[in-house]
Amino acid sequence: MEYTFILSSLLNPCSLISLILIVLIFVFRSSFRLNSSRKLQLPPGTLGLPFLGESLQIISAYKTENPEPFIDERVKRYGNVFTTHLFGKPTIFSTDPDVNRYILQNEGRLFESSYPSSITNLLGKHSLLIIKGNLHKKLHSLTMSFANSSIIRDHLLVDVNRLVKLNLNSWSDHVLLQDEAKKITFELTVKQLMSIDPGEYSEKLRKEYVLLIEGFFSVPIPFFFTTYGRAIKARRKVAESLLSVVRERRKENPSSGNGGGKKNKDMLEALLEEECGLSDEEIVDFMLALLVAGYETTSTIMTLVVKFLTETPLALAQLKEEHEKIAAEKGYSGSLQWSDYKSLPFTQCVINETLRVANIISGVFRKTTADVTIKGFTIPKGWTVFASFRAVHLHQDNYKESRSFNPWRWQDDLASMSSIGNGNSFTPFGGGPRLCPGYELSRVEICVFLHHFITHFSWVPAEEDKLIFFPTTRTVKRYPINIQRRNCQVE
């Protein structure tokens, strides 16, 4: 009887689809029952459709300018922490600042970062974003010490100023701001990593790198003609290119791996000096992680600061005043010094507000390494959790009129807050053992960019553009603007 049904299903497409659906529902239901049978109190919610879960709903929401209803509706129905099913996995979605903090702080104990293999293939298995345990601790603290305030002040700031000015001077009177900002952040990272100035090497590397980045946001089908397939190939080329620099440096400095204790000239030298003796492959994956982590994030904030300011003329006027004062003192031809950076309170408010509203990293995925009980719920071992920063940043309990861009809201808090964020309700750079090591550097880069841009150009949007949030936070048309130079060249 069953055979007859299956056979006729094969001949009849409608029945075949019904059969597949029945099997899917059965598998899906049994996996859900498995948890109930272990008497685990999951947060309320729905797993949505078999296999697809609620992925299509979240994707279609994040592809619009206003993705908030996806979260708002579920929070209203189920509360701040709810169960859903995203990108192939049952997921606990947290919009609760305390739960998010708990997830971030317990990285390596109850939770661990987890990426699909399609992403790991692009990042490399030794990437800082992926490695765990002691090696992660060591390399994370190495990165933090390389991008700390005194290193930025004494070493990196000179090049940030120089490369930002170089780029601004090369602009025509019509630019796609998002692309230009990406070029700036890429060149800055290459310089900070390997002391290589913009030129033939960095341009060639950038072309491959752009293909690699596209792979992160594509369907992971590894054929040579697909975006993902091209990204895999580009990854190989980028790795080879970085490897050649690593090998050259090893030749120049054969004593690498001895610790040393002296000040390193760049990140690569610090890696080569690392006492545990990193392999070439580990160093290449590490450099690639820094290129990936700082590129899209910082450049998008640079673009969106300009977009939000353009839409908020009062804020733009106040910011201009702050920067004009410093620029005028220098005759419009100096660099932004560390002391200047520290004396721009309204600029810090504008950067905070852009980070809060734009949410470049809308949250982080983690996997539980044990059953975790929190706020009366139990999340089973091996489940995915998503700590949503976006939901916290845009909730009215945490920010009054939370959905509007209002840089003045930060004015009273600024003195008491650090560059990382404040408390549990502002975490654009994450937290805990995986706190973004670039949190200060990115703020400095954005600030230097704003300083030279605002004091040397006026601009108008060339077309209407809109902000969307899937597959990443970006403006659809890459924010085209027409610019006019004021105060001559950026010297």
d(CA 364, CA 429): 10
Interface with ligand HEM, residue 434, by CB under 6 A: yes
Q: How far is the CB of 354 from ligand HEM (least distance, A)?
A: 9
How large is the angle between the packed helices 313-329 and 345-358, nearest 10 degrees?
140
Q: Is 436 assigned to a binding site?
A: yes
User: Quick check: 284 and 250 in contact, CB under 8 A?
Assistant: no
Taking contact as CB under 6 A, which single stretch among the options 27-35, 195-203, 404-412, 425-433 is the one that binds ligand HEM?
A: 425-433
In terms of DSSP H, where are the helices of 147-274?
149-151, 157-169, 177-194, 200-216, 227-252, 267-273
User: Quick check: 62 and 70 in contact, CB under 8 A?
Assistant: yes
Which of 178, 256, 348, 442 is in the footprint of ligand HEM by CB under 6 A?
442
Interface with ligand HEM, residue 430, by CB under 6 A: yes
Cis check for the bond before 471: say yes or no (omega within 30 of 0): yes
Q: What is the total residue count of the chain?
A: 491
Which of 43, 45, 48, 294 is in the footprint of ligand HEM by CB under 6 A?
294
Q: 268 — phi, psi (to 5°)?
A: -60, -40
Interface with ligand HEM, residue 290, by CB under 6 A: yes
Which of 360, 372, 394, 490 is in the footprint of ligand HEM by CB under 6 A?
360
Number of residues engaging ligand HEM in binding (CB under 6 A)? 25
Joined tokens for residue 31: 């996996």
d(CA 65, CA 80): 23
Interface with ligand HEM, residue 191, by CB under 6 A: no
Q: 459 — phi, psi (to 5°)?
A: -150, 160
Interface with ligand HEM, residue 42, by CB under 6 A: no
Q: How far is the CB of 285 from ligand HEM (least distance, A)?
A: 11
Give the alpha-carbon dihedral of 229, 230, 234, 237, to 10 degrees.
80
Q: What is the DSSP string of 373-426?
A: EETTEEEPTT-EEEEEHHHHHT-TTTSTTTTS--GGGGTTTGGG--SS-BTTTB
Element (H, E) at 315: helix 313-329
Q: How far is the CB of 433 from ligand HEM (least distance, A)?
A: 7
Interface with ligand HEM, residue 291, by CB under 6 A: no
d(CA 263, CA 254): 17
Q: How far is the CB of 278 from ligand HEM (least distance, A)?
A: 15
Which of 175, 379, 436, 454 is in the footprint of ligand HEM by CB under 6 A?
436
- The burial class, CB within 10 Å (0-12 / 13-18 / 19+), for 320 is middle
Interface with ligand HEM, residue 364, by CB under 6 A: yes
Interface with ligand HEM, residue 481, by CB under 6 A: no
Whichever of 57 and 475 has its CB closer to ligand HEM, that residue is 475
C-alpha distances in Å from residue 51, one per residue of 29, 57, 86, 111, 397: 11, 13, 9, 24, 34
Interface with ligand HEM, residue 215, by CB under 6 A: no
Site for ligand HEM in 107-146 (CB under 6 A): 113, 128-129, 140, 143
Q: How far is the CB of 35 from ligand HEM (least distance, A)?
A: 25
Interface with ligand HEM, residue 319, by CB under 6 A: no
Which of 264, 297, 347, 455 is in the footprint of ligand HEM by CB under 6 A?
297
Q: Which of 159, 418, 164, 143 is nearest to 299 (CA)?
A: 164
User: Quick check: 327 and 147 in contact, CB under 8 A?
Assistant: no
> What number of other Cβ atoms are within 10 A of residue 226's Cβ?
15
Interface with ligand HEM, residue 298, by CB under 6 A: yes
Q: How far is the CB of 44 from ligand HEM (least distance, A)?
A: 26
Interface with ligand HEM, residue 301, by CB under 6 A: yes
Q: How far is the CB of 296 from ligand HEM (least distance, A)?
A: 9
* DSSP designation for 127: -
Q: How far is the CB of 429 from ligand HEM (least distance, A)?
A: 5
What residue number has its CB nearest to ligand HEM? 438
Which residue matches tokens 């204790």? 261
Interface with ligand HEM, residue 374, by CB under 6 A: no
d(CA 255, CA 237): 28
Taking contact as CB under 6 A, which single stretch among the options 211-219, 244-252, 332-340, 438-446 is the one that binds ligand HEM?
A: 438-446
Which of 70, 349, 428, 474 is in the footprint of ligand HEM by CB under 6 A?
428
Site for ligand HEM in 5-34 (CB under 6 A): none
Whichever of 97 and 430 has its CB closer to ligand HEM, that residue is 430
Taking contact as CB under 6 A, which single stretch among the options 29-37, 253-261, 423-431, 457-465 is the one that binds ligand HEM?
A: 423-431
> 252: which residues sit within 8 A by CB, 6+ positions away?
none
Annotated binding site: 436
Annotated binding site for heme: 436
Question: Which residues of this chain interact with ligand HEM, rule CB under 6 A?
Answer: 113, 128-129, 140, 143, 147, 289-290, 293-294, 297-298, 301, 360-361, 364, 428-430, 434, 436-438, 441-442
